[in-house]
Every structure is written in structure tokens, then in C-alpha cells.
Amino acid sequence: MQSPMLTANSANAGALQPGPVMAWMLLIWQHRVLYLMLLPFAALTLTFGLWPIALSILVSFTENQTALSDAATYVGLENFQAVIADPEFRHSLSLTLLYTALSVVLNLSLALALALALSGPTLKRGATFYKLALFMPVVTPEVATFIVWKWMLNQDFGAVNAALSSLGLPAFAGTTKADSAFIALVIVELWHHVGFYTVVFLTNLQLLDASLDEAARMDGAGRARRIWSIWIPQLRPAIAINSLYALISFLKTFTAVIVITKGGPNFATNFVSYYAYTKFDLAQYGKATAMATILFVIVLALTLLVHLYSERKDYR
């Protein structure tokens, strides 16, 4: 049987337990130096990241003519209804999704193949040079890169057609035809981004569980079998990171379009980001931000799917 003194002490201890708000404040006070160091970054993120997103969503519910004025007229979902009913937007969205799917698959497949090759014995000699050569396009300024590619794809004096002609191959139409312009953007963005994804895969290949690979080798599994059954499942976090980054990058592709094709020819590269830009240029701010909001929601949904994939625990 508990003594009255013990019972009283237990009751007092329970009464002195801080509530959730007080506990939260105590936690902040204990780590005050850390939070003070994070404060500038948080302020910048709020000012230049979250606030513009919130403002863009807010503008999407306003009338075009009054969207950026103090006396904005709110029209509910009218801008979204107009955008969805616009056949050019639907065409632009389908182009964007097709371009994104194709670019993600090509970039990640090639990056994984390059990473596996660079981690193997064949390219061990000179691997540093190959890694540097692959990563150089990533750190090259986008605008300068795409201007050079525009010159290279020129029908009259471009280096691409000069090389094809010297090999006796037919000329590449480049940006003069719809299909070739779309393919040209895929190739240019592949060249620009694949080095980043390759480095991510290479880094994660160094973190694989060597004991599993050695056990499979002792059981007689060849390199191809070990890659598929041992390496790829362990690379799931890297695949998720690369997929997420690639989805976001290619869904909002803009710089390559405005520099190389300007949405043409015949709207063949009129992706959502560029189409929204043209609406801004026409002062149709409500419709432009409605397009951006729709694209934002798609990015969020795909991000959630990638996150769910990365959280799966089975590696079979």
C-alpha cells in the first residue's frame, strides 16, 4: 500500500508537468542558438519562396484586369474553368506531361547506365576525367548553354548538320519542324542534366552493402544478376531523389524553350510554363497564375507518389 507522502509527491510531479505549448517553448529555448542560425534562411524561404507561391494562388482567383491592383475582383474558379476549357492549354499540358515522362525515363536510364559503367573495372582508369566531363554541363549557365545549342542546331551553319553531312547522314530538321524541335529539346536537356543524376547514382553506389554483393557472387550470380537483384533495390533512395528532382525540373521547363524554340514551331514545344508566360505577357494574370497553380498541384501529387515509393520497405 502506497504511503500518503508518496501519493502526494506523485500528484505534485504530475501537476508540474509542462503542457504542450510550454514544452515546445522550452525546446526552442534549449536549442535557441540553432534556431537563431536558421532564422535568416527561414526568413528568405518565407519571403522569396512560400510568399510568392501563396500570392500566385491568390491571384489565380482574381479577375485579369484587377489581379495585381489593390482593388482586386475575386471571381472564384472562373479562371480555372476558362483554362481547362482552353484547347491550347490542354494541348500544352499533354505536351508537358509527354516531354516530362520521356525526359525522366531517358535521363534516369542513361544516368544509371553511366554510373554502373563508371563504377566498373572497364572505366576505372580515367574515371575522374569522365565524371568531370559529365558534370561540366550541369554547372554551365543555362542561357549560355542553350544559345550555343541553338547555333549548333541551325539548319544552315549548325555543327549538328555539318557532322551528319560529313558522315553521309541526312540532315536533322532541328527547330524548323514540330517533331524534330520536340526531340531537340529532349536531347539538349538530356545533355544538360544527365551528369547530375549520374553523380547521385555514383555516390549511392559507394554506400551499397558489400556483404550482400559478396554473398551473391559466392553463390555464382553474375554481374548483371547482382545489379538487378542486389544493387537496384538498394538504390531506391537514389532513384526516388533523382525522380523527384527530374519531375520538378522537366515539368517546369522554360529556359530552353524561350531561348531555342519560343514554343514553336506550330506550338510543338508550347509547354505549360511557356504558355503561362505568354499569358502574363498579355496581362492575363488570373489565367496565367491558374495555369501555374494547376502545374503546382500536379507537381505535389507526383511528389507524394515518389515519396510513397521511396518509403516502401520491401527490397525483393
DSSP the chain: ---HHHHHHHHHHHHTS--HHHHHHHHHHHTHHHHHHHHHHHHHHIIIIIHHHHHHHHHTTB-GGGTTSTTPPB-TTHHHHHHHH-HHHHHHHHHHHHHHHHHHHHHHHHHHHHHHHHHSSTT-TTHHHHHHHHHHHHHS-HHHHHHHHHHHT-TTT-HHHHHHHHTTPPPP-GGGSHHHHHHHHHHHHHHHHHHHHHHHHHHHHTTS-HHHHHHHHHTT--HHHHIIIIIHHHTHHHHHHHHHHHHHHHHT--HHIIIIITT-STTTT--HHHHHHHHHHTT-HHHHHHHHHHHHHHHHHHHHHHHHHHT-----
pTM above 0.95, yes or no: no
CATH code of the domain occupying 80-310:
1.10.3720.10
Low-confidence ranges of the chain (pLDDT < 50): 1, 5-6, 8, 10-11, 13-15, 315-316
- In tens, the pLDDT along 225-271 reads 887 888 888 888 899 999 999 999 999 999 999 999 999 888 999 99
Note the pLDDT of residue 83. Answer: 94
Enumerate the domain spans of the chain. 14-59, 80-310
Note the pLDDT of residue 316. Answer: 45
